[in-house]
Structure 1
Amino acid sequence: MTDPQPELLPGMVRASVKQSQAKARATRARKAAEAEPAAVDPVAQVLVDLPLAHLDRPFDYAVPASMAQSAVPGVRVKVRFAGQDVDGYVVGRSAASDHAGRLAPLRRVVSAEPVLAPQVAALSADLAERYAGARADVLRLAVPARHATTEKEQSPPAEPIVRDAAAGEAAWADHVPGVAFLRHLAEGAAPRAVWTAAPATDWPLLMAHAVAATVDSGRGALVCVPDGKDVARVDQALTEVLGPDRHVTLTADSGPAQRYRDFLAVSRGARRVVVGTRAASFAPVHELGLVVIWDDGDDLHAEPRAPYPHTRETLLLRAEREGAAALLGGFVRTVEGEYLLRTGWARELAPTREARRRVTVAIAGEPVFNDVQARGARIPREVHLAIRDAIEHGPVLVQTPRLGYATALACERCRTPARCAACQGPLALTGPTTPPACRWCGVVAEAWACQECGHRGLRAPVLGDARTAEELGRAFAGVTVRSSSGDQVLATVSAKPQIVVATPGGEPVADGGYSAVVLLDTWLLLSRIDLRAGEEALRRWANAAALARPGGRVVAVGDPAHPALQALVRWDPAGFAARETTERSEAHLPPVSRLATITGEPGAIDDALTLLSAPDSAEVLGPVDVGEGESRVVVRVPRARGLELSHALGELQRVRSSRKLDAVRIQVDPPTL
Structure 2
Amino acid sequence: GPGWAEELARAVGATLASGRGALVVVPDGRAVSRVDAALTSLLGEGRHAVLTAEAGPEKRYRQWLAVRRGSVRAVVGTRAAMFAPVRDLGLVAIWDDGDGSHSEPHAPQPHAREVLLLRAAHDKCAFLLGSWSCTVEAAQLVESGWALPLVAGREQVRAVAPLVRTVGDGDLARDEAARAARLPTIAWQVVREGLRHGPVLVQVPRRGYVPRMACAQCRAAARCRHCAGPIESQDAGTLRCTWCGRDEPAWHCPECGGFRLRAQIVGARRTAEELGRAFPTVPVRTSGREQVLDTVPDAPALVVSTPGAEPVADGGYAAALLLDGWAMLGRPDLRAGEEALRRWIGAASLVRPQGAGGTVVAVAEPTLRPVQALVRWDPVGHAVRELAERAELGFPPVSRMAAVSGVPEALAEFLAAAELPGDAEVLGPVPVHVTEAGRPRRPGAPPPGEHWERVLIRVPPGSGAALAAALKTAQAARMARGGSEPVRIRVDPPDIG
- Superposed, which structure 2 residues align to 1:396-415 within 5 Å? 396-410=200-214
Q: Which amino acid aligns with 1:555?
A: V
Match of 1:334 among 116, 132, 135: 135
User: Deviations along 1:360-415, whole A, 9 cap, x unmatched?
Assistant: 33333236899999765211111111111111211110111122212222455786
Task: Give the conservation status (yes or no) of the 8 Å contact 1:482–1:498.
Answer: yes
Q: Which amino acid aligns with 2:382?
A: F
- Mapped to 2, the partners of 1:650 and 1:427 lie a distance apart of 43
Alpha-carbon shift at residue 416 of structure 1 (Å): 6.4
Alpha-carbon shift at residue 250 of structure 1 (Å): 1.1
Match of 1:608 among 414, 418, 422: 414
SS of equivalent to 1:235: helix
Task: Give the conservation status (yes or no) of the 8 Å contact 1:363–1:558.
Answer: no
1:500 aligned partner: 303
Task: Give the conservation status (yes or no) of the 8 Å contact 2:212–2:230.
Answer: yes
Supply the RMSD in Å over aligned alpha carbons.
2.5
Higher relative contact order (CA 8 A, sep 6+): 2
1:650 aligned partner: 472
Matched, 1:303 2:126: no
- Mapped to 2, the partners of 1:204 and 1:625 lie a distance apart of 43
Task: Give the conservation status (yes or no) of the 8 Å contact 1:201–1:546.
Answer: no
Task: Give the conservation status (yes or no) of the 8 Å contact 1:211–1:221.
Answer: yes
Deviates more, 1:298-307 or 1:646-655: 646-655
Alpha-carbon shift at residue 449 of structure 1 (Å): 4.6
Q: Which amino acid aligns with 2:102?
A: H
Tell me: CA distance 1:300–1:434, structure 2 relative to 1, closer, same or farther (3 Å). Answer: farther
2:390 aligned partner: 584
Match of 1:668 among 475, 491, 494: 491
- Superposed, which structure 2 residues align to 1:10-49 within 5 Å? none
Tell me: CA distance 1:461–1:214, structure 2 relative to 1, closer, same or farther (3 Å). Answer: same
TM-score, structure 1 normalization = 0.66
2:155 aligned partner: 354
- Mapped to 2, the partners of 1:412 and 1:544 lie a distance apart of 29
2:7 aligned partner: 206
Task: Give the conservation status (yes or no) of the 8 Å contact 1:595–1:636.
Answer: yes
Match of 2:48 among 247, 252, 274: 247
Task: Give the conservation status (yes or no) of the 8 Å contact 1:405–1:429.
Answer: no
- Superposed, which structure 2 residues align to 1:556-571 within 5 Å? 556-571=362-377
1:439 aligned partner: 242
SS of equivalent to 2:421: coil
- Mapped to 1, the partners of 2:60 and 2:193 lie a distance apart of 46
Task: Give the conservation status (yes or no) of the 8 Å contact 1:364–1:380.
Answer: no
Match of 2:185 among 377, 381, 398: 381
Matched, 1:537 2:340: yes
1:316 aligned partner: 117
TM-score, structure 2 normalization = 0.89
SS of equivalent to 1:338: helix
Tell me: CA distance 1:664–1:201, structure 2 relative to 1, closer, same or farther (3 Å). Answer: same
Match of 1:554 among 339, 360, 380: 360
Tell me: CA distance 1:518–1:451, structure 2 relative to 1, closer, same or farther (3 Å). Answer: closer
Question: Gaps spanning 5+ residues in structure 2: where?
Answer: 434-449
Alpha-carbon shift at residue 294 of structure 1 (Å): 0.7
Q: How many residues align?
A: 472
1:256 aligned partner: 57
- Mapped to 1, the partners of 2:454 and 2:198 lie a distance apart of 50
Task: Give the conservation status (yes or no) of the 8 Å contact 2:253–2:259.
Answer: no
- Superposed, which structure 2 residues align to 1:51-130 within 5 Å? none
Task: Give the conservation status (yes or no) of the 8 Å contact 2:296–2:312.
Answer: yes
- Mapped to 1, the partners of 2:172 and 2:308 lie a distance apart of 25
- Mapped to 1, the partners of 2:338 and 2:176 lie a distance apart of 23
User: Deviations along 1:274-315, whole A, 9 cap, x unmatched?
Assistant: 111110000111111110111111111111001111111011
Matched, 1:636 2:458: yes
Task: Give the conservation status (yes or no) of the 8 Å contact 2:165–2:359.
Answer: no
Alpha-carbon shift at residue 654 of structure 1 (Å): 2.3
Match of 1:365 among 167, 173, 183: 167
- Mapped to 1, the partners of 2:261 and 2:476 lie a distance apart of 56
- Mapped to 2, the partners of 1:373 and 1:439 lie a distance apart of 31
Alpha-carbon shift at residue 427 of structure 1 (Å): 2.0
User: Deviations along 1:433-461, whole A, 9 cap, x unmatched?
Assistant: 7754433245566x555477998764323
User: Deviations along 1:137-177, whole A, 9 cap, x unmatched?
Assistant: xxxxxxxxxxxxxxxxxxxxxxxxxxxxxxxxxxxxxxxxx
- Mapped to 2, the partners of 1:514 and 1:505 lie a distance apart of 16
The sequence identity of aligned pairs, in percent, is 52
Q: Which amino acid aligns with 2:492?
A: D
- Mapped to 1, the partners of 2:112 and 2:385 lie a distance apart of 24
Matched, 1:624 2:430: yes
- Mapped to 1, the partners of 2:343 and 2:489 lie a distance apart of 29
Q: Which amino acid aligns with 2:426?
A: V
Tell me: CA distance 1:414–1:401, structure 2 relative to 1, closer, same or farther (3 Å). Answer: closer
User: Deviations along 1:106-134, whole A, 9 cap, x unmatched?
Assistant: xxxxxxxxxxxxxxxxxxxxxxxxxxxxx
Task: Give the conservation status (yes or no) of the 8 Å contact 1:399–1:519.
Answer: yes
1:390 aligned partner: 194
Alpha-carbon shift at residue 320 of structure 1 (Å): 0.7
Alpha-carbon shift at residue 468 of structure 1 (Å): 1.4
Q: Which amino acid aligns with 2:407?
A: E
Q: Which amino acid aligns with 2:168?
A: E
